[in-house]
Structures are given as C-alpha cells and as structure tokens.
Structure 1
Amino acid sequence: MKELWVAALILLAAPLAAEEWRVVGDEQFAPYSFVSQDDDTPRGLDVELVRAVLDETGQPYTLRLYPWARVKQMLERGEVDMAFQFAGTPERQAQYELVGPLRSGSTVFMSSTRVVLQDWHSLDDLSPYVIGQVRGYAYEAAFDKADLRRDSSASNPRQLVSMLLAGRIDIIVGDREQLLYFVREQRADAEVRILPTPLVQMPRYVAFAKGDKHRAERFAKALEKLRADGRLQTLLQRWTH
C-alpha cells in the first residue's frame, strides 16, 4: 500500500515539475525580437538573451512572438507566464513583477529632413510637431504625460517609420537601433535625422504577473549568474558590434 501511495505521488508531481513556462515577446521589435521569414523562428538579441537565462534555470519553456498588444493582453489574462521586453517605467513597475534589466537602449526622436528642428531641449520644443508613437507603448513618464500632438495609429515600429517616410507625421519616437534598422530596410538613411539629445536611456525588462514572485526570483537568479560570469555581455557584444 505504501508503495502505491509513493507511486501515486510521483505521478502527480511529475507533470508539475515538467510544466513549461509560456513565454512571449514582441514580433515587431527587430533587431531585438522578430520572426524569421524563412521558418517562423523567433530571432533577435532579446530572444537570445531570454533563452540563455531560461536555459540557465533548467526550466522547460515555449517561446513565441506576437503583436505587442496581444503580448500584454496574454500576460494580463494569465494566458502566459512571462513576457518581454517591457520598458522600465513607473507604470510598468506598478503593473508587473519586472526582472532585469536584460539590457538598455537609447530612446530617441527621429525626424524627417523636411523638419527644421535640429535638436530639442524641453518637451515644449516638440509642441509644433505631430509626434508618431506606437499604440500601447510606454516611452518615458514625463513624455507620456506631456500635452503634445500625437499620432498613435501605428501598431508597430516598422509602420511608424513608414509613416514618417511618407510624410504623414513630423517626428517619431523609439529605440535608436530599432528605428535605424527599419530605415535601412527601406534604404532611406538620407531622408531622416536623429535628434542628438535622447529622450531617455531606457532599461528593458521581462515581466511576470503581479505577485508571481516565485518565477520572477528564479529568472532573476539565473540572470544575475549570466551577468556575473560574462555570458550576458558576450551575447550583447555579438549583436551590437
């Protein structure tokens, strides 16, 4: 009888131990996360960073990329266990258990060369212009609350760049490397300029549901190990040099 109880407990525990974490990220955040057109495989710097940390935990997982609005919705509804790559804003800190940062990126303003503005020193300098931003993105607390003319019709950064190049908006805001990636896709470097003063140096985090401290702590411990032994920096250098 004792042996039967032990066997039953093992059978019950095994699925729990092997349960996969469901991990999702933004499919339109190249070069940090995007879906390969050849085989639909998630690729990018952030994908590799997240995979490396999860592999260190030893935790089975599945990783998929979706539109950003769906990524947030899935996490909020409890349909997934973890999502990336969230900006480290006070709003996001209040919404989720954020772990990281995985890395930091420079959030900048990019204008068409038709715009006379060469740089900005206060948000008031931007008030004469229509600022394009991706619907649902958080950028920086003061900017997000500022009374500016905004166009939030873009659903992803590639679309945002296309709108700028088409002359539909004056200035766009986003991650420097990402905006340049999409500009170069369209061979339009000569048509845009990046304003020299960045909006913010924005750390990027992974997110768990508020209160899910167990998973958050496991990920944080593995992330710190990769940071300490240099593996995180090796991945970063491979993508940024």
Structure 2
Amino acid sequence: MLLSLSMPAVSDDKVVRLASLDWAPYTGNQLRADGVTAQVVREAFAVMGYELEIVFYPWERAVSMGSDPSYGLHGFFPEYFREDIGDNIVFSDPVGYGPLGFAERKDSTVEWTELSDLSSYTIGTVQGYANTLAFDNAVAANELTISEAMTDTSNLMKLAYSRVDLSVIDQFVFAHLMVTEPELKAFHSQLQFNQTMLEVKSLYVCFNGKNAHLADILNQGLAKIDIRAIQDEFFSGY
C-alpha cells in the first residue's frame, strides 16, 4: 500500500506515519477502521490533534522500515514488548491486549501446565513473530520443537493436516481466521483454542529514536480514550 498523495487534513508535522501488517482483527487495510488496534491508535492521536497514516507490509519489512526514519516513517505497530528489539526503539503505553496461546485439533487435545510438558510435540509458529520470552528461550535452547510458517493461516493449515501438534496464535486472530479464511472454514469444526493460555500480551506502538517524542503524545491521547470499550465493541462479533 502506498502513502496517500492527498493533502492531509492537518499540517504535515501533525501527521504520524506508521508501518503495520495485515494481522486481522488487530490491523489490516481490508478491515473496518484498519482494525481494532489501528482504531485505538487513530483515536488516541486524534484527541491530541494528530492524524494517523498507515502503510501495510509483511511484518519483518514493517519492522525494518518503521525502525529506520530514512523511510519517512515514525514507527511500527502492533508489537509485543521485547527487550531485545534495539536501543533506538521507544515503546508507547499499551494500545490493547492479545490473548496468546495455542490452537489444537479437537480430536487431539493437549493438556499442559509448564512449557516442559510440550517437549514431545511439534509446535507451529510464524516466522518473524515474537511469542513469549519463556517460549522463545525454550526454542533457542532446543527444549521445544517448532515448525515455522509464513502466516497464521498457513500455520493453522499445517495443524489441520496434522503436520504440527499445536499452533501458537492469538485467540482473536484464531477466531477471526476460522470464520473469514475460505481454506480454514472446512476445518471450523475440527480446530479449537487450547484451554491453557501462554500469556495475555499487551500490544504497543514502537517509535524509532528520531521520533521518540510521539510516544509521549500518543500516551497522553491513550489516557483520554477508553481502550477496553473500543476493543469490546470491535470483538463483540467473535
């Protein structure tokens, strides 16, 4: 998606340009209001007199371009908090939350309490996505076996065809994909979200160092809106 060439409604120094990805229902240029998290960020900036423009890319490219001010972008979102993300990145206050866990097959449910309980399973993940710190550390230590996919949809398809035993996914993303992706609809009655959550993760906007001041402006705007009400209304259909 290209940046709009139309004149902004406010002066250019009041336009915030962020990179994001198609990660429904949180962000996506085919979604109402560009997704629930985009709606939160847009409303928070609006109450501060700023306009939001979003460009959509595959996630790794969104992170790369949003981190480098030479591309004309101020940052990227939505991101989980990561201490290894780099010294030049400034996180906003949370702009929402995402319940992270596993999808599983209904005929092959998995009971677990500790990550070590999953050592005998193959777990589907999405390339470039951060999961929980404990999960990613266990993978790095070869304590868990993973199989990477390029997208959440392809990750779930691998699960449906028994090529993995579990798939790491956000609960709302799972619910959205199962009713909107044609190739997954055939498996709607066969897949479910595992009862044990990995973590309820906060979502953030990341600003590159040159534009760190925008984090303070966004944070002030976030304090003036009701994030939970926006999310509850958006997710009411799920």
TM category, shorter: 0.7 to 0.9
In structure 2, the gaps of 5 or more residues are 1-10
Match of 1:26 in 2: 21
Q: TM-score, normalised by structure 1?
A: 0.81
Q: Cα gap change, 1:131/1:35 in structure 2, threshold over 3 Å: closer, same or farther?
A: same
- In the alignment, the residues of structure 1 paired with residue 150 and residue 87 of structure 2 have an alpha-carbon distance, to the nearest angstrom, of 24
Amino acid at match of 1:144: D
Match of 1:36 in 2: 30
Answer 1 or 2: which has greater strand percent: 1
* Pairing partner for 1:103 from 93, 96, 103: 96
Alignment pair present for 1:85 and 2:78: yes
Alignment pair present for 1:120 and 2:112: yes
Instruction: Answer whether contact 1:18 1:60 (CA < 8 A) is retained.
Output: no
* Pairing partner for 2:43 from 52, 58, 61: 52
Q: CA deviation at 1:169?
A: 1.5
- In the alignment, the residues of structure 1 paired with residue 174 and residue 17 of structure 2 have an alpha-carbon distance, to the nearest angstrom, of 29
4+ runs deviating over 6 angstroms: none
- In the alignment, the residues of structure 2 paired with residue 113 and residue 234 of structure 1 have an alpha-carbon distance, to the nearest angstrom, of 32
Q: TM-score, normalised by structure 2?
A: 0.82
Q: CA deviation at 1:130?
A: 1.0
Match of 1:207 in 2: 206
Match of 1:163 in 2: 158
Answer 1 or 2: which has greater helix percent: 1
Q: How many residues align?
A: 215
Task: Tell me the secondary structure at the aligned position of residue 33 of structure 1.
Answer: coil
Instruction: Answer whether contact 2:16 2:51 (CA < 8 A) is retained.
Output: yes
In structure 1, the gaps of 5 or more residues are 1-16
- In the alignment, the residues of structure 2 paired with residue 98 and residue 204 of structure 1 have an alpha-carbon distance, to the nearest angstrom, of 10
Instruction: Answer whether contact 1:42 1:65 (CA < 8 A) is retained.
Output: no
- In the alignment, the residues of structure 1 paired with residue 124 and residue 201 of structure 2 have an alpha-carbon distance, to the nearest angstrom, of 18
- In the alignment, the residues of structure 2 paired with residue 25 and residue 67 of structure 1 have an alpha-carbon distance, to the nearest angstrom, of 8
- In the alignment, the residues of structure 2 paired with residue 61 and residue 113 of structure 1 have an alpha-carbon distance, to the nearest angstrom, of 41
Instruction: Answer whether contact 1:108 1:199 (CA < 8 A) is retained.
Output: yes
Instruction: Answer whether contact 1:84 1:207 (CA < 8 A) is retained.
Output: yes
Q: CA deviation at 1:140?
A: 0.7
- In the alignment, the residues of structure 2 paired with residue 114 and residue 32 of structure 1 have an alpha-carbon distance, to the nearest angstrom, of 29
Percent identity, please.
23
Instruction: Answer whether contact 2:19 2:63 (CA < 8 A) is retained.
Output: no
Match of 2:7 in 1: none
- In the alignment, the residues of structure 2 paired with residue 111 and residue 94 of structure 1 have an alpha-carbon distance, to the nearest angstrom, of 37
